[in-house]
Amino acid sequence: MASVKIQVSAKHLKLGMFVAELDRPWLGTPFLFQGFRLRTIEEIEKIQSLCDSVLVDPEKSAKTPLAYTQQPVPSKDAKRQHYDMSASFEDEILVANEIRADTENCLGHVFDDVTSGRMIDLVTVKRTISDTVDGILRNPDAHVSLTQLKEWDNYTAQHSINVCILALAFARHIGLPRHEMEMLGAGALLHDIGKLKTPLDVLNKPDKLTPEEFKIMQSHPVHGRELLAERYGLPHQVADMAFSHHERIAGGGYPRGLTGAQISIWSKMVAIVDVYDAISSDRCYHKGMSPTEALTKMYGWRLKDFDAELLEKFIQCIGIYPVGTLVELTSGEVGIVISVNPTSRLKPKIDLILNEKKQPYFPSRVVNLEEFKSTDPSNTYAIKEVLTPGAYNINMREHLAPIQAAKSKLILPQTG
pLDDT in tens, 200-215: 888 888 888 899 999 9
Looking at residue 152, what is its pLDDT?
Answer: 56
Mean pLDDT is lowest, of 42-51, 92-101, 288-297, 397-406, for 397-406
- Cβ neighbours of residue 398 closer than 8 Å, sequence gap 6 or more: none
Q: Please state the pTM of the whole predicted model.
A: 0.78
The one-letter amino acid code at 278 reads A
**Percent of the chain having pLDDT more than 90?**
45
| pLDDT band at residue 40 under the 50/70/90 scheme | confident
Looking at residue 29, what is its pLDDT?
Answer: 76
Mean pLDDT is lowest, of 237-241, 282-286, 298-302, 402-406, for 402-406
Residue 402: pLDDT over 80: no
The distance from CA 133 to its chain's CA centroid, rounded to whole angstroms, is 10
Cα–Cα distance, 128 to 223 (Å, whole number) = 23
| pLDDT band at residue 62 under the 50/70/90 scheme | confident
| pLDDT band at residue 404 under the 50/70/90 scheme | very low
Domains of the chain are: 6-61 (no CATH), 89-318 (1.10.3210.10), 326-400 (no CATH)
Count how many Cα atoms sit within 13 Å of the Cα of residue 249 in the half-sphere of its side chain. 16
Looking at residue 75, what is its pLDDT?
Answer: 61
Cα–Cα distance, 263 to 277 (Å, whole number) = 20
Cα–Cα distance, 256 to 167 (Å, whole number) = 23
Residue 343: pLDDT over 80: no
Looking at residue 407, what is its pLDDT?
Answer: 37
Higher pLDDT, 63 or 13: 13
Higher pLDDT, 126 or 282: 126
| pLDDT band at residue 73 under the 50/70/90 scheme | low
Residue 373: pLDDT over 80: no
Average pLDDT value over all residues in the chain: 85
Residues in the chain: 416
